[in-house]
Structure 1
Amino acid sequence: MNVESQKILIVEDEQPIRTLLEYNLQKVGYETVLAVDGKEAIEKAEQENPDLILLDLMLPKMDGIEVCKTLRKKGIPIPIIMLTAKSDELDKVLGLEIGADDYMTKPFSPREVLARVKAVLRRSGERNEPVAVSTTLKSGSLTVYPDRYEVYLNDQALDFTPKEFELLVYFMQNKNIVLSRDQLLSAVWNYDFAGDTRIVDVHVSHLREKIEENTRKPTYIKTVRGIGYKFEETKLS
Protein backbone atom coordinates (compact mmCIF):
# COMPACT_ATOMS: atom_id res chain seq x y z
CA MET A 1 0.00 0.00 0.00
CA ASN A 2 1.37 3.42 -0.98
CA VAL A 3 1.65 6.24 1.54
CA GLU A 4 -0.71 8.31 -0.62
CA SER A 5 -3.54 5.85 -0.02
CA GLN A 6 -3.02 5.54 3.73
CA LYS A 7 -5.20 7.43 6.17
CA ILE A 8 -4.21 8.44 9.71
CA LEU A 9 -6.74 9.42 12.37
CA ILE A 10 -5.20 11.97 14.75
CA VAL A 11 -6.97 12.12 18.11
CA GLU A 12 -5.54 15.04 20.08
CA ASP A 13 -7.26 17.85 21.97
CA GLU A 14 -4.22 20.17 22.06
CA GLN A 15 -4.35 22.22 18.88
CA PRO A 16 -0.57 22.87 18.52
CA ILE A 17 0.24 19.14 18.74
CA ARG A 18 -2.64 18.25 16.44
CA THR A 19 -1.43 20.77 13.85
CA LEU A 20 2.17 19.55 14.11
CA LEU A 21 1.14 15.94 13.56
CA GLU A 22 -1.19 16.80 10.70
CA TYR A 23 1.43 18.95 8.92
CA ASN A 24 4.22 16.38 9.11
CA LEU A 25 2.04 13.45 8.08
CA GLN A 26 0.52 15.30 5.15
CA LYS A 27 3.96 16.51 4.06
CA VAL A 28 5.04 12.94 3.27
CA GLY A 29 1.75 12.03 1.64
CA TYR A 30 -0.55 10.59 4.30
CA GLU A 31 -4.22 11.57 4.36
CA THR A 32 -5.28 12.78 7.81
CA VAL A 33 -8.55 12.86 9.73
CA LEU A 34 -8.90 14.78 13.01
CA ALA A 35 -10.77 14.19 16.27
CA VAL A 36 -10.57 16.28 19.44
CA ASP A 37 -12.22 14.02 22.04
CA GLY A 38 -12.76 10.35 22.79
CA LYS A 39 -16.31 10.04 21.53
CA GLU A 40 -15.45 11.72 18.24
CA ALA A 41 -12.47 9.37 17.93
CA ILE A 42 -14.73 6.30 17.99
CA GLU A 43 -17.15 7.88 15.50
CA LYS A 44 -14.34 8.80 13.09
CA ALA A 45 -12.72 5.37 13.45
CA GLU A 46 -15.98 3.70 12.42
CA GLN A 47 -16.86 6.19 9.67
CA GLU A 48 -13.45 6.79 8.10
CA ASN A 49 -11.84 3.34 8.54
CA PRO A 50 -8.32 4.77 8.92
CA ASP A 51 -5.19 2.67 8.49
CA LEU A 52 -3.79 3.84 11.85
CA ILE A 53 -4.83 5.93 14.86
CA LEU A 54 -2.59 8.33 16.77
CA LEU A 55 -4.44 8.42 20.08
CA ASP A 56 -3.74 10.88 22.89
CA LEU A 57 -4.11 9.42 26.36
CA MET A 58 -5.72 12.44 28.05
CA LEU A 59 -8.86 13.41 26.16
CA PRO A 60 -12.19 15.12 26.96
CA LYS A 61 -15.37 12.99 27.25
CA MET A 62 -13.52 9.67 27.07
CA ASP A 63 -9.80 9.07 27.65
CA GLY A 64 -7.49 7.19 25.31
CA ILE A 65 -7.56 4.00 27.37
CA GLU A 66 -11.37 3.83 27.12
CA VAL A 67 -11.25 4.63 23.40
CA CYS A 68 -8.76 1.83 22.79
CA LYS A 69 -10.76 -0.60 24.92
CA THR A 70 -14.02 0.32 23.15
CA LEU A 71 -12.53 -0.12 19.67
CA ARG A 72 -11.09 -3.51 20.56
CA LYS A 73 -14.39 -4.66 22.12
CA LYS A 74 -16.12 -3.67 18.89
CA GLY A 75 -13.65 -5.86 17.00
CA ILE A 76 -12.04 -2.93 15.20
CA PRO A 77 -8.42 -4.01 14.57
CA ILE A 78 -7.03 -0.63 13.43
CA PRO A 79 -3.43 -0.23 14.69
CA ILE A 80 -3.13 2.31 17.53
CA ILE A 81 -0.16 4.37 18.68
CA MET A 82 -0.85 6.03 22.02
CA LEU A 83 0.54 9.49 22.81
CA THR A 84 1.44 9.82 26.48
CA ALA A 85 3.19 12.14 28.93
CA LYS A 86 6.32 11.05 30.77
CA SER A 87 4.40 10.56 34.02
CA ASP A 88 1.92 8.10 32.51
CA GLU A 89 4.03 4.93 32.92
CA LEU A 90 1.20 2.79 34.28
CA ASP A 91 -1.14 3.99 31.54
CA LYS A 92 1.44 3.08 28.87
CA VAL A 93 1.50 -0.47 30.18
CA LEU A 94 -2.30 -0.60 30.40
CA GLY A 95 -2.61 0.76 26.87
CA LEU A 96 -0.38 -1.99 25.51
CA GLU A 97 -2.25 -4.56 27.57
CA ILE A 98 -5.64 -3.69 26.08
CA GLY A 99 -4.45 -3.68 22.49
CA ALA A 100 -2.45 -0.56 21.59
CA ASP A 101 0.39 -1.41 19.20
CA ASP A 102 2.90 1.17 20.39
CA TYR A 103 3.26 4.41 22.31
CA MET A 104 5.22 7.66 22.05
CA THR A 105 6.12 9.90 24.97
CA LYS A 106 5.67 13.65 24.62
CA PRO A 107 7.51 15.67 23.51
CA PHE A 108 8.37 13.75 20.36
CA SER A 109 10.11 14.78 17.16
CA PRO A 110 8.49 14.67 13.70
CA ARG A 111 11.14 12.13 12.69
CA GLU A 112 10.13 9.79 15.50
CA VAL A 113 6.44 10.15 14.65
CA LEU A 114 7.01 9.27 11.00
CA ALA A 115 9.30 6.35 11.87
CA ARG A 116 6.82 4.86 14.35
CA VAL A 117 3.88 5.32 11.97
CA LYS A 118 5.81 3.70 9.14
CA ALA A 119 6.87 0.76 11.31
CA VAL A 120 3.38 0.05 12.67
CA LEU A 121 1.75 0.38 9.26
CA ARG A 122 4.31 -1.92 7.69
CA ARG A 123 3.73 -4.57 10.34
CA SER A 124 -0.02 -4.19 10.02
CA GLY A 125 0.20 -4.57 6.25
CA GLU A 126 2.16 -7.78 6.64
CA ARG A 127 -0.51 -9.16 8.98
CA ASN A 128 -3.23 -8.40 6.46
CA GLU A 129 -1.50 -10.12 3.56
CA PRO A 130 -2.48 -13.71 2.73
CA VAL A 131 -0.45 -15.99 4.99
CA ALA A 132 1.25 -19.00 3.50
CA VAL A 133 0.86 -22.28 5.31
CA SER A 134 3.70 -22.35 7.81
CA THR A 135 5.21 -24.94 10.08
CA THR A 136 3.48 -25.55 13.39
CA LEU A 137 5.69 -24.39 16.27
CA LYS A 138 5.87 -26.56 19.38
CA SER A 139 7.71 -26.53 22.67
CA GLY A 140 6.60 -28.61 25.62
CA SER A 141 2.86 -28.09 26.14
CA LEU A 142 2.87 -24.96 23.98
CA THR A 143 1.69 -25.13 20.34
CA VAL A 144 1.51 -22.19 17.93
CA TYR A 145 -0.10 -22.13 14.49
CA PRO A 146 1.38 -19.06 12.73
CA ASP A 147 -0.91 -19.33 9.70
CA ARG A 148 -4.04 -19.37 11.89
CA TYR A 149 -2.90 -16.93 14.60
CA GLU A 150 -3.71 -19.53 17.26
CA VAL A 151 -1.89 -20.53 20.44
CA TYR A 152 -2.65 -23.54 22.66
CA LEU A 153 -1.24 -24.43 26.06
CA ASN A 154 -2.12 -27.92 27.30
CA ASP A 155 -4.69 -28.01 24.46
CA GLN A 156 -6.40 -24.86 25.81
CA ALA A 157 -6.70 -21.90 23.43
CA LEU A 158 -5.08 -18.66 24.61
CA ASP A 159 -5.88 -15.09 23.62
CA PHE A 160 -3.07 -12.82 22.46
CA THR A 161 -2.87 -9.32 21.04
CA PRO A 162 -1.37 -9.27 17.52
CA LYS A 163 1.95 -7.93 18.82
CA GLU A 164 2.16 -10.53 21.60
CA PHE A 165 1.51 -13.24 19.02
CA GLU A 166 4.21 -11.93 16.68
CA LEU A 167 6.71 -11.77 19.52
CA LEU A 168 5.93 -15.33 20.61
CA VAL A 169 6.29 -16.63 17.06
CA TYR A 170 9.64 -14.87 16.68
CA PHE A 171 10.87 -16.34 19.95
CA MET A 172 9.81 -19.85 18.92
CA GLN A 173 11.40 -19.48 15.49
CA ASN A 174 14.66 -18.64 17.28
CA LYS A 175 14.70 -21.18 20.09
CA ASN A 176 17.78 -21.30 22.30
CA ILE A 177 19.18 -18.11 20.76
CA VAL A 178 19.88 -15.12 22.98
CA LEU A 179 18.04 -12.11 21.53
CA SER A 180 18.76 -8.55 22.60
CA ARG A 181 15.96 -6.08 23.17
CA ASP A 182 17.17 -4.05 20.18
CA GLN A 183 17.03 -7.18 17.99
CA LEU A 184 13.45 -7.80 19.10
CA LEU A 185 12.48 -4.18 18.45
CA SER A 186 13.89 -4.43 14.95
CA ALA A 187 12.39 -7.83 14.13
CA VAL A 188 8.94 -7.54 15.71
CA TRP A 189 8.30 -3.78 15.76
CA ASN A 190 10.27 -2.98 12.59
CA TYR A 191 12.11 -0.14 14.29
CA ASP A 192 14.94 1.19 12.13
CA PHE A 193 16.21 3.34 15.00
CA ALA A 194 16.91 3.04 18.72
CA GLY A 195 13.49 2.72 20.32
CA ASP A 196 12.29 2.43 23.90
CA THR A 197 13.17 -1.14 24.90
CA ARG A 198 10.64 -1.07 27.75
CA ILE A 199 7.99 -1.96 25.21
CA VAL A 200 9.77 -5.32 24.78
CA ASP A 201 9.84 -5.93 28.54
CA VAL A 202 6.12 -5.16 28.83
CA HIS A 203 5.22 -7.64 26.10
CA VAL A 204 7.53 -10.33 27.49
CA SER A 205 5.82 -9.88 30.85
CA HIS A 206 2.42 -10.37 29.20
CA LEU A 207 3.62 -13.50 27.40
CA ARG A 208 4.92 -14.98 30.64
CA GLU A 209 1.63 -14.34 32.39
CA LYS A 210 -0.13 -16.35 29.69
CA ILE A 211 2.25 -19.24 29.02
CA GLU A 212 4.33 -19.70 32.17
CA GLU A 213 3.18 -21.72 35.17
CA ASN A 214 5.42 -19.61 37.42
CA THR A 215 6.38 -16.18 36.08
CA ARG A 216 9.15 -15.87 38.69
CA LYS A 217 10.76 -19.07 37.42
CA PRO A 218 9.84 -19.14 33.72
CA THR A 219 10.19 -22.35 31.76
CA TYR A 220 10.05 -20.89 28.27
CA ILE A 221 11.21 -17.27 28.15
CA LYS A 222 14.39 -16.80 30.16
CA THR A 223 15.98 -13.45 30.97
CA VAL A 224 19.63 -13.13 29.97
CA ARG A 225 20.94 -10.46 32.30
CA GLY A 226 22.36 -7.41 30.58
CA ILE A 227 21.40 -8.64 27.09
CA GLY A 228 17.78 -9.64 26.59
CA TYR A 229 15.86 -12.91 26.42
CA LYS A 230 16.08 -16.50 25.25
CA PHE A 231 13.25 -18.90 24.44
CA GLU A 232 14.35 -22.34 25.64
CA GLU A 233 13.26 -25.53 23.93
CA THR A 234 11.13 -27.51 26.39
CA LYS A 235 10.37 -31.22 26.19
CA LEU A 236 7.14 -32.80 27.37
CA SER A 237 7.63 -34.52 30.71
Structure 2
Amino acid sequence: MQNTDYRIAVIEDDPIQLENLVTALEQQGFMVDSFDNRQSAEESFAAGLPNLVISDIILGSEVDGGFDLAKHLLGYNQPIPIIFLSERQSEFDIYTGHTLGAIDYLPKPISLNMLIVKVKNLLRITGNTNTSNADEETSKIPNLALVQDQFKAYWFEKPLDLTATEFEMLKQFAVAGESSVVSYDALQASTQGVVERNTINTHICRIRNAFKKITPEFNSIHNEYGRGYSWQKDV
Protein backbone atom coordinates (compact mmCIF):
# COMPACT_ATOMS: atom_id res chain seq x y z
CA MET A 1 0.00 0.00 0.00
CA GLN A 2 1.30 3.41 -0.99
CA ASN A 3 0.70 6.55 1.07
CA THR A 4 -1.71 7.77 -1.62
CA ASP A 5 -3.93 4.75 -0.93
CA TYR A 6 -4.13 5.57 2.75
CA ARG A 7 -6.92 7.92 3.85
CA ILE A 8 -6.64 9.75 7.15
CA ALA A 9 -9.38 11.71 8.90
CA VAL A 10 -8.16 14.60 11.06
CA ILE A 11 -10.55 16.21 13.56
CA GLU A 12 -9.28 19.40 15.23
CA ASP A 13 -11.25 22.50 16.19
CA ASP A 14 -8.27 24.88 16.13
CA PRO A 15 -7.98 26.06 12.50
CA ILE A 16 -4.23 26.71 12.66
CA GLN A 17 -3.45 23.32 14.19
CA LEU A 18 -5.78 21.64 11.73
CA GLU A 19 -4.04 23.28 8.79
CA ASN A 20 -0.61 22.29 10.12
CA LEU A 21 -1.66 18.67 10.59
CA VAL A 22 -3.24 18.42 7.15
CA THR A 23 -0.26 20.04 5.44
CA ALA A 24 2.25 17.76 7.18
CA LEU A 25 0.31 14.63 6.24
CA GLU A 26 -0.38 15.68 2.65
CA GLN A 27 3.31 16.46 2.16
CA GLN A 28 3.94 12.77 2.90
CA GLY A 29 1.48 11.78 0.19
CA PHE A 30 -1.46 10.82 2.40
CA MET A 31 -5.05 11.57 1.44
CA VAL A 32 -6.52 13.66 4.24
CA ASP A 33 -10.12 14.52 5.16
CA SER A 34 -10.24 17.39 7.66
CA PHE A 35 -13.04 18.30 10.07
CA ASP A 36 -13.39 20.93 12.78
CA ASN A 37 -16.20 19.16 14.66
CA ARG A 38 -17.36 15.69 15.58
CA GLN A 39 -20.71 15.78 13.78
CA SER A 40 -19.31 16.46 10.30
CA ALA A 41 -16.70 13.74 10.78
CA GLU A 42 -19.33 11.18 11.74
CA GLU A 43 -21.45 12.13 8.72
CA SER A 44 -18.43 11.50 6.50
CA PHE A 45 -17.79 8.12 8.13
CA ALA A 46 -21.31 7.04 7.19
CA ALA A 47 -20.32 7.43 3.53
CA GLY A 48 -16.93 5.74 3.89
CA LEU A 49 -14.51 4.92 6.67
CA PRO A 50 -10.91 6.19 6.72
CA ASN A 51 -7.88 3.99 7.41
CA LEU A 52 -6.89 6.09 10.41
CA VAL A 53 -8.43 8.79 12.60
CA ILE A 54 -6.38 11.53 14.26
CA SER A 55 -8.47 13.53 16.70
CA ASP A 56 -8.30 16.09 19.47
CA ILE A 57 -10.26 15.25 22.64
CA ILE A 58 -11.89 18.64 23.19
CA LEU A 59 -13.86 19.60 20.09
CA GLY A 60 -15.56 22.98 20.38
CA SER A 61 -18.00 22.91 23.28
CA GLU A 62 -17.69 19.12 23.58
CA VAL A 63 -15.10 18.46 26.27
CA ASP A 64 -15.10 14.74 25.41
CA GLY A 65 -15.85 15.10 21.70
CA GLY A 66 -12.93 12.92 20.64
CA PHE A 67 -13.96 10.17 23.04
CA ASP A 68 -17.54 10.34 21.76
CA LEU A 69 -16.19 10.07 18.21
CA ALA A 70 -14.28 6.93 19.21
CA LYS A 71 -17.42 5.43 20.74
CA HIS A 72 -19.23 6.10 17.46
CA LEU A 73 -16.51 4.29 15.51
CA LEU A 74 -16.87 1.24 17.75
CA GLY A 75 -20.32 0.79 16.22
CA TYR A 76 -18.80 -0.20 12.87
CA ASN A 77 -17.89 -3.80 12.14
CA GLN A 78 -14.24 -3.02 11.38
CA PRO A 79 -11.71 -1.58 13.84
CA ILE A 80 -10.51 1.90 12.88
CA PRO A 81 -7.24 2.89 14.61
CA ILE A 82 -7.25 6.24 16.39
CA ILE A 83 -4.46 8.55 17.48
CA PHE A 84 -5.59 11.08 20.07
CA LEU A 85 -3.90 14.47 20.39
CA SER A 86 -4.61 16.38 23.58
CA GLU A 87 -3.33 18.70 26.27
CA ARG A 88 -5.17 16.49 28.74
CA GLN A 89 -2.53 14.11 30.03
CA SER A 90 -4.04 12.62 33.17
CA GLU A 91 -3.71 8.87 33.64
CA PHE A 92 -7.51 8.61 33.53
CA ASP A 93 -7.77 10.41 30.17
CA ILE A 94 -4.97 8.34 28.61
CA TYR A 95 -6.51 5.12 29.95
CA THR A 96 -9.94 6.14 28.62
CA GLY A 97 -8.48 6.85 25.21
CA HIS A 98 -6.88 3.44 24.98
CA THR A 99 -9.99 1.61 26.20
CA LEU A 100 -11.85 3.24 23.31
CA GLY A 101 -9.43 1.78 20.80
CA ALA A 102 -6.69 4.39 20.56
CA ILE A 103 -3.34 3.09 19.37
CA ASP A 104 -1.64 6.18 20.73
CA TYR A 105 -2.31 9.27 22.84
CA LEU A 106 0.08 12.11 22.08
CA PRO A 107 0.54 15.33 24.07
CA LYS A 108 0.02 18.82 22.72
CA PRO A 109 1.81 20.79 21.48
CA ILE A 110 2.32 17.95 19.03
CA SER A 111 5.59 17.13 17.32
CA LEU A 112 4.62 16.80 13.66
CA ASN A 113 7.74 14.75 12.94
CA MET A 114 6.84 12.30 15.71
CA LEU A 115 3.28 12.05 14.45
CA ILE A 116 4.43 11.31 10.90
CA VAL A 117 6.76 8.54 12.14
CA LYS A 118 3.95 6.92 14.13
CA VAL A 119 1.54 7.12 11.19
CA LYS A 120 4.10 5.49 8.89
CA ASN A 121 4.79 2.76 11.46
CA LEU A 122 1.07 2.07 11.64
CA LEU A 123 0.92 1.89 7.85
CA ARG A 124 3.61 -0.79 7.88
CA ILE A 125 1.42 -2.86 10.18
CA THR A 126 -1.97 -2.42 8.52
CA GLY A 127 -0.87 -1.86 4.93
CA ASN A 128 1.61 -4.68 4.37
CA THR A 129 -0.03 -8.07 4.65
CA ASN A 130 2.68 -9.99 2.81
CA THR A 131 5.37 -9.87 5.50
CA SER A 132 4.16 -12.87 7.49
CA ASN A 133 4.54 -16.42 6.33
CA ALA A 134 2.13 -19.24 6.97
CA ASP A 135 3.96 -20.46 10.07
CA GLU A 136 3.68 -17.02 11.67
CA GLU A 137 -0.06 -17.03 11.04
CA THR A 138 -0.60 -20.41 12.72
CA SER A 139 -1.73 -20.22 16.32
CA LYS A 140 -0.18 -22.71 18.75
CA ILE A 141 -2.85 -21.89 21.32
CA PRO A 142 -5.94 -24.14 21.30
CA ASN A 143 -9.19 -22.44 20.29
CA LEU A 144 -7.39 -19.27 19.15
CA ALA A 145 -7.36 -18.70 15.37
CA LEU A 146 -5.74 -15.87 13.40
CA VAL A 147 -6.65 -14.40 10.02
CA GLN A 148 -3.59 -12.32 9.20
CA ASP A 149 -4.78 -10.55 6.04
CA GLN A 150 -7.86 -9.27 7.89
CA PHE A 151 -6.12 -8.59 11.23
CA LYS A 152 -8.79 -10.64 12.95
CA ALA A 153 -8.56 -13.21 15.72
CA TYR A 154 -11.19 -15.74 16.78
CA TRP A 155 -11.64 -17.32 20.19
CA PHE A 156 -13.82 -20.43 20.18
CA GLU A 157 -14.78 -19.35 16.63
CA LYS A 158 -16.08 -15.98 17.86
CA PRO A 159 -14.38 -12.73 16.71
CA LEU A 160 -12.31 -10.82 19.24
CA ASP A 161 -12.79 -7.06 19.38
CA LEU A 162 -9.20 -5.95 18.75
CA THR A 163 -7.44 -3.11 16.97
CA ALA A 164 -4.80 -3.98 14.37
CA THR A 165 -2.13 -3.11 16.94
CA GLU A 166 -3.63 -5.43 19.55
CA PHE A 167 -3.92 -8.18 16.95
CA GLU A 168 -0.16 -7.94 16.31
CA MET A 169 0.52 -8.13 20.06
CA LEU A 170 -1.80 -11.11 20.49
CA LYS A 171 -0.11 -12.86 17.58
CA GLN A 172 3.13 -12.93 19.60
CA PHE A 173 1.41 -15.15 22.18
CA ALA A 174 -0.21 -17.31 19.50
CA VAL A 175 3.10 -17.94 17.74
CA ALA A 176 5.07 -18.49 20.97
CA GLY A 177 2.53 -20.91 22.41
CA GLU A 178 1.56 -21.71 25.96
CA SER A 179 4.00 -21.01 28.83
CA SER A 180 6.41 -19.05 26.63
CA VAL A 181 7.30 -15.57 27.84
CA VAL A 182 6.76 -12.74 25.36
CA SER A 183 9.07 -9.91 26.37
CA TYR A 184 8.13 -6.25 26.58
CA ASP A 185 10.57 -5.57 23.74
CA ALA A 186 8.95 -8.22 21.54
CA LEU A 187 5.49 -6.78 22.15
CA GLN A 188 6.66 -3.28 21.32
CA ALA A 189 8.58 -4.44 18.26
CA SER A 190 5.52 -6.31 16.97
CA THR A 191 3.74 -2.98 16.57
CA GLN A 192 6.61 -1.36 14.65
CA GLY A 193 7.02 1.16 17.46
CA VAL A 194 3.38 2.32 17.40
CA VAL A 195 2.95 1.25 21.05
CA GLU A 196 5.13 2.90 23.68
CA ARG A 197 6.65 0.76 26.43
CA ASN A 198 4.61 2.51 29.12
CA THR A 199 1.28 1.77 27.37
CA ILE A 200 1.81 -1.96 26.78
CA ASN A 201 -0.10 -2.84 29.96
CA THR A 202 -3.10 -0.82 28.77
CA HIS A 203 -3.23 -2.76 25.51
CA ILE A 204 -2.83 -6.08 27.36
CA CYS A 205 -5.81 -5.12 29.54
CA ARG A 206 -7.85 -4.45 26.40
CA ILE A 207 -6.83 -7.81 24.94
CA ARG A 208 -7.83 -9.59 28.16
CA ASN A 209 -11.18 -7.80 28.16
CA ALA A 210 -11.80 -8.85 24.55
CA PHE A 211 -11.41 -12.48 25.60
CA LYS A 212 -13.61 -11.95 28.68
CA LYS A 213 -16.46 -10.75 26.47
CA ILE A 214 -16.52 -14.29 25.06
CA THR A 215 -15.38 -16.31 28.07
CA PRO A 216 -15.85 -14.23 31.26
CA GLU A 217 -13.59 -16.53 33.27
CA PHE A 218 -10.62 -15.91 30.96
CA ASN A 219 -7.34 -15.65 32.88
CA SER A 220 -4.65 -16.96 30.53
CA ILE A 221 -2.43 -13.90 29.98
CA HIS A 222 -0.11 -13.55 32.97
CA ASN A 223 2.30 -10.79 33.89
CA GLU A 224 5.85 -12.10 34.22
CA TYR A 225 7.28 -9.31 36.35
CA GLY A 226 10.31 -7.65 34.84
CA ARG A 227 10.20 -9.91 31.78
CA GLY A 228 6.93 -9.49 29.92
CA TYR A 229 3.80 -11.66 29.66
CA SER A 230 3.01 -15.31 29.09
CA TRP A 231 0.00 -17.35 28.02
CA GLN A 232 -0.77 -19.96 30.65
CA LYS A 233 -3.21 -22.79 30.21
CA ASP A 234 -6.27 -22.38 32.40
CA VAL A 235 -6.35 -24.85 35.26
TM bin (shorter chain): 0.7 to 0.9
Number of the residue aligned with 2:51: 51
Percent of aligned pairs with the same amino acid: 24
Give how far 1:159 is off. 3.4
Instruction: Provide TM-score, normalisation by structure 1.
Output: 0.78
Other-structure match for 2:108: 106
The within-5 A match list for 1:162-177 is 162=163, 163-175=165-177, 176-177=179-180
Q: In structure 2, do the counterparts of structure 1 residues 10 and 146 end up closer, same or farther at CA, with 3 Å as the change threshold? A: same
Partner deviation per Cα, 1:45-73 (whole Å, 9 max, x = no partner): 33454322111111136501111111221
Distance 1:135 1:179, change over 3 A: closer
Q: Report the AA paired with residue 122 of structure 2.
A: V
Q: Unpaired runs of 5+ in structure 2? A: none
Deviation of 1:16 after TM superposition, in Å, equals 2.5
Letter in 1 for 2:166: E
Q: In structure 2, what is the equivalent of residue 37 of structure 1?
A: 37
**Offset at residue 79 of structure 1 (A):** 2.5
2:188 maps to 185
The match for 2:77 is: 75
**Structure 1: which 5+ runs fail to align?**
none
Q: Matched residues in 2 for 1:220 and 1:109: separation?
A: 38
Give the corresponding residue for 1:124: 126
RMSD: 3.3
Query: Could you tell me which amino acid in structure 2 is paired with residue 92 of structure 1?
Result: I
SS at the partner of 1:50? coil
Name the CA distance, whole Å, in 1 between partners of 2:138 and 2:183.
25
SS of 2:102's partner is coil
Q: Displacement of 1:114 after TM fit? A: 0.6
TM-score (normalizing by structure 2): 0.78
| One-letter code aligned to 1:145 | A
Q: Residue 85 of structure 2 contacts residue 110 of structure 2 at CA under 8 Å; is this kept in 1?
A: no
2:229 corresponds to which letter in structure 1? K
The Cα of 1:102 is off from its aligned counterpart by 2.6
Deviation at 1:4, TM superposition (A): 2.5
1:83 deviates by 1.4
Equivalences for residues 121-160 of structure 1 within 5 A? 121-126=123-128, 134-138=137-141, 143-147=143-147, 149-152=152-155, 155=156, 157=158, 159-160=160-161
Larger mean CA deviation between 103-112 and 32-41 belongs to 103-112
